[in-house]
Chain A
Amino acid sequence: MMQKRWRRLLAVFLASMLVLGACGGRDDDDGDAAPPDDDTPTDTADNGDDTDDTDDTDDTEPPGDPEPAPGFDGETIRLGVLTPTSGTVAVIGNPLTAGNQAYVDYLNEELGGIAGQYPVELVVEDSAYDPTTAGQRYAAISDDVVAFVQILGTPVVNALLPDLIEDNVIAGPASLDSAWIREPNLMPIGGPYQVQAINAVDWYFSQPENEGQVLCTLASDDEYGDTGVAGVEFAADNLGIDIAVQAEYPAPSPTRPAQTFESQIGQLEGGDCDVIFFVATPTDTAPLNTVLTENTDYNPTVLGQSPSWLGLFAGFEYLQENFFLASEGTNYGDESVPGMAELVRIKETYAPEQEPDLYFNFGYLQAMAMHQILEEAVARGDLSRDGMVDAMENVGTLSFDGVFGDYEYGPADERQPPTSSSFFRPDPDSPMGLDLVERDYEADYVGDFTFE
């Protein structure tokens, strides 16, 4: 009897709560124009209705100041950074973010912010290089940022893509995967990994002394490893050479034991490999150097993909003799390249304690790309989510003043990434530990590679 009464009471209570709860709904469409706070200056010019999405901004009157929007309170533009500041991948995440920050400091201090009037602020969150954590951090700040200047890691970007698409937020992937090129919510920069690999293999075999050498690959068993291998396979097909051995190793993870590479090197040595294309992160470059140094009977050349490098490796003797890094741009401090001279100046001014670093450069260039898109969005008078996507589609060519190749933007299916690469050798006396061997090399057939 008591049980029945309790059940009845509970049912009535739940029904009434459901009706009350119905008052608390909110749909996902947060709207692109957050209402300004009471203390937000509302001196924005009335630009009439903003339903015009056409590209011709030169018709009647110019658009006025942008309305407040998520991440923009009418004064400050906030940009998100989702990157590992802890764990093994923090060695990449920290210099990347330092590069983002140095450029933003320069933008605020010397240019007065976007359009000379809107300072930029970074909101940095630790993704732990983990999709679940990254998803939570994304949800925590996505309503408070105009866009994400940096999201590090192919797995993390993959995991956040549905959210980015649903919320129509743009983000800069700190990864050179070619999969990003056709994603309308992503802001890739630089030549993709596949392009690096194609150019590296073609460049290596274009040297007369390397003719007839046996080509092999050593790649992490993950999506990043697949990208490099895809490029090598494409180049090998075009050159009419075989890949003798395709060795793999477990991708880095918090619980993976230290990689020794002994079995993989045994496999590659057994295949008489003369040159190994190495797809890795810095975590695994040092153990590879160790095992090759100890094995005095086997001295293959290693072609490394850009994320395999850290400046400290320049001190490794084996790598000094037998390693080339495929990357982009020029030597650090090369004053003949205007963009590089400016990068060095800005680094010395705003991040003097930061060592010259490839990842710092990449982060700096990401912020430079976002700067160009934000300028376009402000010029169009719209910093909303939709406005940012429109600005990205209409920004034209993103220029990096020679530090990276220019990137032709437009609708995602028409984007054209840079297709040249540069090659470096380890040099302990050079900044970043790298010395340029060949700049802006481009295989004849690299344009035939399809970016799906």
Chain B
Amino acid sequence: MRAVLAPFGRGPSGGRPSRNLVLDYRDDLRIFPDRWARIGLVLLAFLYLWLPSQQVSDAGLRTLSTIGIFAIGAIGLNLLTGYTGQVSLGHAFFIGVGSYTAAYLGAELGWPFLVYVPAAALIGVGLGVVIGPFALRLRGHYLVIVTLGLIFLGRHIFNNWTSVTGGNRGTQIRGADMSIGPLDFSGLELFGTTYSREQSMFFLVWALVALTALLAKNLVRSRMGRAMQAVRDRDLSAEIIGVDLARTKVGAFAWSSAFACVAGVLSALQIRFAGADDFGLFLSITYVAIIIIGGVGTIFGAIVGSIFVVGSEELINQNSRSDWLGPLVSTGPTDAGWLSVGELNAILFGAFIVGFLLFEPRGLAALWFRAKAWFLTWPFSY
């Protein structure tokens, strides 16, 4: 390509094409391929530091932190389902393991944050390595049913391993360390300013979202990531050309469950409670919905999907008494209105899943990529 462009001489653009063309393989692998991506990064950094200031209430920050926690878990599921093609309904089990790890190692035993978070991730890796081999013998619906079994197995363990999980009553998470060096995220103090718990939590969660997104993005750009995608697209062909199927599938399970466990830790630190009922099938379905709506097989889609699924619920809640939603939504048994907030959320949740599967199977991320391509290729349509 470069050779083809050479005869065009050195114009004002220094001999480069006027548009951001992919000229070699390395261009395809860049995380921040052009100036706009870098500007976007700077804008995100600005938002990260600006949002927790007085502009957003603690309630809003709590929602944003919840979105971040779901994003980390969804990135993990996207590695497994979106990139490797291994459909799993057992994700909630790993979230639960992470939550109880935080409760026991962090709150009960008083381990430091920088020890129990990696420990939770390692436990996730270990569990992923144990469960991964099932994917070698099973695929499709059969694998879904096996991973579904994890939910019920997990529920039994969570309800009965009382010394760790608190049994049926669940366990409260009070006093767990949340320090990284001098930064204590249970109540950050910086430059003589004290931040609320919600502000501090926002900083912690979204820093970890950035870290896990970067980690996942680098993973899918690596040999391992290419192997994962090859397995997803045609596992038999992948094996024939030399991809180690066992290592790839087990590795995907290990990475996915490690991310889920980290999300579970953060969830426990935010809610400050872990109960077996919270890690059921509905949570797993929520994660699947997030990656479908956001975009299967994209890191970006996991984050966008979390914003959409968690954020839309909150948006409906906040506007349930507004003029435009008020007549439709009832906020209590004595209030006029057809649907409760929860019922409307459930209907929209289902409708969006069906809608995206029918009209935009690649999710919100595809809409973004299409819009970006239109601007990049303008005035041409190709």
Spell out A's residues near B (CB within 8 Å): 6, 9-10, 13-14, 17-28, 81, 84-87, 90, 93-95, 97-98, 101, 122, 124-126, 128, 130-133, 135-137, 139-141, 143, 154-155, 158-163, 166, 179, 221-223, 225-226, 250-251, 253-255, 351
Contact = CB atoms under 8 A, between A and B. Distances in A.
Contacts of A95: 333
Contacts of B169: 154, 158, 179, 223, 226
B168 A24 contact: no
B277 A155 contact: yes
A237 to B, nearest CB: 21
Interface of B: 38, 41-42, 45-46, 49-50, 52-55, 57-59, 62-63, 66, 155, 159, 167-170, 172-174, 187-188, 190-199, 267, 270-273, 275-278, 280-282, 285, 313-314, 317-318, 330-335, 339-343, 346
B58 A139 contact: yes
A98 B333 contact: yes
A84 B331 CA distance: 10
Contacts of A160: 273
Contacts of B272: 159, 162-163
Nearest to A24: B53
Given A255-B280, A255-B282, A158 B275 contact: yes
B54 A24 contact: yes
Contact of B273 (A10, A131, A253): A131
**Interface SS majority for chain A:** helix
B271 A132 contact: yes
A155 B54 contact: no
Contacts of B199: 24-26
A23 B340 contact: no
A28 B196 contact: yes
Contacts of A251: 168, 277
Given A101-B332, A131-B273, A162-B273, A21 B342 contact: no
23 contacts: A24-B193, A25-B199, A26-B54, A26-B195, A26-B196, A85-B340, A86-B341, A90-B340, A97-B334, A126-B340, A126-B341, A133-B342, A135-B270, A136-B63, A136-B317, A139-B59, A162-B174, A163-B272, A226-B167, A226-B168, A226-B169, A255-B282, A255-B285
B289 to A, nearest CB: 14
Contacts of B342: 84-87, 126, 128, 133
Contacts of A250: 155
A74 to B, nearest CB: 22
**Interface SS majority for chain B:** helix
B172, B173, B333, B339, most chain A CB atoms within 10 A: B333
A428 B55 CA distance: 57
A218 to B, nearest CB: 15
Contacts of A23: 53, 193
Given A25-B195, A94-B332, A132-B66, 11 more contacts: A20-B50, A24-B54, A24-B55, A27-B196, A86-B341, A136-B63, A155-B278, A162-B174, A222-B277, A251-B168, A254-B282
B49 to A, nearest CB: 4
Contacts of A221: 159, 168
Contacts of A135: 62, 270-271
A13, A139, A160, A166, most chain B CB atoms within 10 A: A139
B49 A124 contact: no
Contacts of B167: 223, 226
A20 B195 contact: no
Contact of A86 (B172, B188, B334, B346): B346
A85 B333 contact: yes
B345 to A, nearest CB: 8
Contacts of B335: 124
A163 to B, nearest CB: 7
Contact of A158 (B59, B66, B170, B318): B170
Contact of A140 (B174, B270, B317): B317
A333 to B, nearest CB: 22
Contacts of B45: 10, 13-14, 17
Contacts of A141: 59
Contacts of B318: 140
Q: Which 4 A-B pairs have the closest CB atoms?
A: A24-B53, A86-B342, A25-B193, A124-B332
Given A135-B270, A155-B275, A159-B275, A20 B49 contact: yes
Given A17-B46, A19-B191, A155-B275, A253 B332 contact: no
Nearest to B69: A132
Contact of A162 (B172, B313, B317, B330): B172
A222 to B, nearest CB: 5
A163 B142 CA distance: 42
A24 B188 CA distance: 12
A83 to B, nearest CB: 8
Contacts of A27: 187, 194-196
B326 to A, nearest CB: 13
A166 B175 CA distance: 12
B280 A18 contact: no
